[in-house]
Chains A and B, each alone.
Chain A
């Protein structure tokens, strides 16, 4: 048998049929559902009077609309409330597993799937959400789908797909002290561009990747979509297996042993051929900060905001100027002289326990700068929040002047009340710096949790590595 990539292996295990024209039917193991992209799909099922094919495959949770403060009042916005109630009704009607608001297990869909062991190596995982790529950290083929496809999976457990190409990103060597998965992935996106992975599934390999914890690998795969790739993958190793053991949805007993034996085969064959290869030198990666309105518009903390005049491509140069105008930045401004109004530590990219520990280590014993209007920490799930509180991280944040909130998507996309006002500038650990993403007219700079925490203390960006961290 020809050498296979990890993507080829998972695909082959799930291919139900292949038509003459190349169209393939792929079987889906895990379907994660949230309130924003599912109501129209359930409505479609109802209209066509179709049953759900495999209820067991579904794990549902409300996350985008949930408030992060004043939960005792419920959701005050009637439009948001209706959307969450609609999810509850659909899950009750079809008897689906849902972690409702108030359940300690509720949180951001891409945090709770792995946390529960609902994402397992070798699975196909889908969700009506582009950041489903997160689950690729577990050697699972995971990608976001639209609402029509959500309905298609509910009704048939399959998707009609074309296979994408194989791309491998190798991060050679080890990263320097203080460099996180967020810096690695931002650097990769800066290198290949937001459309650099279009039509491809990216597998990440190399010493710097193997060294990452599962939390770090999830951050990495989470942002694969920002490089345009449909999915990101990291091969299964002992780190993966250790993370999964004992989680509620993970196999047990004899099944655990069988599963582990299979999972250990989930990596690309040594001589597998990739359609595209990219190499990044890990040692050259510095803390990253986005300056514009696309994640590819990224620089290191020790660089200056670029100048559109130095770009020869007319469309690109125009795009850079639009971004500078929107961001209210002058070309050539040193990154360290960019002052912030708000700090957001959260989102499916960076709200896991390790992220909160990294931010707390920077914040401990320090105070948020007076010029910062709001600094907030939004844990990714009720269980992450509980763990952080057990470790006393909440007190560290609160004493420094941060707000300690309830779990949800929050200001990553501002569908609840957490948002930027026009012109406000935010250091954010989320994944998108698009115009208006965090609120109309809001200006987002994407950074790691440690860099966001350091920016909160200084009021402007600083190289977090100059600070003593209280690990």
Chain B
């Protein structure tokens, strides 16, 4: 996993609560056996007017001119602003892969669905939960300024903008440590292999039917 570095990015907003993972990446694209290439089908049902199929080119499909990610400068946005319960629904990690493949590095919302929140960290996508009031404020500022940018500093847990606005955010220490260093969870857990084996020895003695 790549190390998460401080960056400044364009913000794109999707102003609806309960955006689900079926909307982020529709099921037909889950047939892929790869981790890459999902970006062109991110928000597929909203982004295109014609239906799409996996393995088919998107070049011939009519794009929805009203959808935010089809407009400049949001077509190269790196921060997604959303509403409550962002990415609820299925466990598909493809939702994270699609967001990252498109170019997103951060998602800001008042709340996230648990599985998506977990999946994000495993891939280097940073989900930032801010209060509904702050998120409202960001939506309002974005409406005023088309190429609205935010700076994200994970080390200091701060979201800032050009006019000196500063919003601290919470993140668990372990997740922050892994993101900053680009650590692979499996490698970290394997360091405890002896511990797991010792656990198993007593566990199966106690529960012989398992």
Complex-state Cα separation, A432 to B123, whole angstroms: 26
Indicate if the CB atoms of A156 and B189 lie closer than 8 Å: yes
Indicate if the CB atoms of A17 and B192 lie closer than 8 Å: yes
Q: A79-B55, A83-B33 are in contact. Are A436 and B203 (CB under 8 A)?
A: no
Indicate if the CB atoms of B172 and A21 lie closer than 8 Å: yes
Question: Does A25 lie at the interface of the complex (its beta carbon under 8 Å from any beta carbon of B)?
Answer: yes
Question: Does A170 lie at the interface of the complex (its beta carbon under 8 Å from any beta carbon of B)?
Answer: no
Question: Does B85 lie at the interface of the complex (its beta carbon under 8 Å from any beta carbon of A)?
Answer: yes
Pick the contact of A130 from B90, B96, B203, B210 — CB < 8 Å? B90
A108 contact set on B, CB distance < 8 A: none
A195 contact set on B, CB distance < 8 A: 18, 84-85, 88, 111, 113
B41 to chain A, nearest CB (A): 12
Complex-state Cα separation, A192 to B174, whole angstroms: 31
Question: Does B91 lie at the interface of the complex (its beta carbon under 8 Å from any beta carbon of A)?
Answer: yes
Which of B114-122, B143-151, B156-164 lies at the interface? B114-122
Interface membership of chain A positions 64-83, coded 1 if the CB is closer than 8 angstroms to chain B and 0 otherwise:
11000000000001011011
Complex-state Cα separation, A262 to B27, whole angstroms: 41
Chain A residues numbered 283-322 whose CB sits less than 8 Å from any CB in chain B: 294, 296, 315-316, 318-319, 322
Question: Does A160 lie at the interface of the complex (its beta carbon under 8 Å from any beta carbon of B)?
Answer: yes
Complex-state Cα separation, A157 to B197, whole angstroms: 10
Q: A258-B209, A436-B23, A436-B26 are in contact. Are A144 and B93 (CB under 8 A)?
A: no
Question: Does B9 lie at the interface of the complex (its beta carbon under 8 Å from any beta carbon of A)?
Answer: no
Complex-state Cα separation, A415 to B92, whole angstroms: 13
Indicate if the CB atoms of B17 and A315 lie closer than 8 Å: yes
A157 contact set on B, CB distance < 8 A: 196, 200
Complex-state Cα separation, A65 to B32, whole angstroms: 12
Question: Does A274 lie at the interface of the complex (its beta carbon under 8 Å from any beta carbon of B)?
Answer: no
B156 to chain A, nearest CB (A): 18
Indicate if the CB atoms of B85 and A194 lie closer than 8 Å: yes
Complex-state Cα separation, A259 to B30, whole angstroms: 39
- Chain A: CB-nearest residue to B178: A160
Q: A39-B33, A144-B91, A434-B22 are in contact. Are A156 and B15 (CB under 8 A)?
A: no
Q: A79-B55, A194-B18, A255-B209 are in contact. Are A199 and B114 (CB under 8 A)?
A: yes
Q: A16-B192, A194-B18 are in contact. Are A152 and B186 (CB under 8 A)?
A: yes
Tally of contacts, chain A with chain B, CB under 8 A: 190
Indicate if the CB atoms of B186 and A198 lie closer than 8 Å: no
A146 contact set on B, CB distance < 8 A: 91-93, 96, 115, 118-119, 122
Indicate if the CB atoms of B115 and A40 lie closer than 8 Å: no
Chain B residues numbered 118-170 whose CB sits less than 8 Å from any CB in chain A: 118-119, 122-123
B201 to chain A, nearest CB (A): 12
Question: Does B190 lie at the interface of the complex (its beta carbon under 8 Å from any beta carbon of A)?
Answer: yes
B23 contact set on A, CB distance < 8 A: 434-436
A114 to chain B, nearest CB (A): 16
Indicate if the CB atoms of B185 and A148 lie closer than 8 Å: yes
- Chain B: CB-nearest residue to A36: B30
Indicate if the CB atoms of A228 and B199 lie closer than 8 Å: no
Indicate if the CB atoms of B93 and A318 lie closer than 8 Å: no
Complex-state Cα separation, A146 to B111, whole angstroms: 19
Chain B residues numbered 50-97 whose CB sits less than 8 Å from any CB in chain A: 51, 54-55, 83-85, 88-93, 96
Complex-state Cα separation, A25 to B33, whole angstroms: 28
Indicate if the CB atoms of B113 and A228 lie closer than 8 Å: yes
Question: Does A158 lie at the interface of the complex (its beta carbon under 8 Å from any beta carbon of B)?
Answer: yes
Q: A40-B35, A195-B85 are in contact. Are A16 and B185 (CB under 8 A)?
A: no
Interface membership of chain B positions 178-191, coded 1 if the CB is closer than 8 angstroms to chain A and 0 otherwise:
00000001101110
A162 contact set on B, CB distance < 8 A: 172
Indicate if the CB atoms of B203 and A27 lie closer than 8 Å: yes
Complex-state Cα separation, A151 to B184, whole angstroms: 11
B117 to chain A, nearest CB (A): 9
Indicate if the CB atoms of B18 and A319 lie closer than 8 Å: yes
Indicate if the CB atoms of A16 and B196 lie closer than 8 Å: yes
- Chain A: CB-nearest residue to B20: A434
Question: Does A86 lie at the interface of the complex (its beta carbon under 8 Å from any beta carbon of B)?
Answer: yes
17 pairs of residues in contact across A and B, judged by CB atoms under 8 Å: A16-B192, A27-B196, A36-B31, A37-B93, A65-B31, A82-B31, A128-B91, A146-B122, A155-B186, A156-B193, A251-B209, A258-B208, A294-B88, A319-B17, A435-B22, A436-B45, A440-B51
Top 9 A-B pairs ranked by shortest CB distance? A251-B209, A148-B122, A146-B119, A146-B93, A39-B33, A195-B85, A144-B91, A255-B209, A147-B93
Known: A230-B114, A316-B17, A319-B16. 4 other contacts (CB 8 A): A80-B31, A146-B118, A156-B193, A160-B189
Residues of chain A at the chain B interface (Cβ within 8 Å): 13, 16-17, 19, 21-23, 25, 27, 29, 36-37, 39-40, 43, 48, 50, 53, 64-65, 77, 79-80, 82-83, 86, 120, 122-123, 128-130, 132, 144-149, 151-152, 155-158, 160, 162, 164, 194-195, 198-199, 228, 230, 251, 255-256, 258-259, 262, 294, 296, 315-316, 318-319, 322, 413-415, 432, 434-437, 440
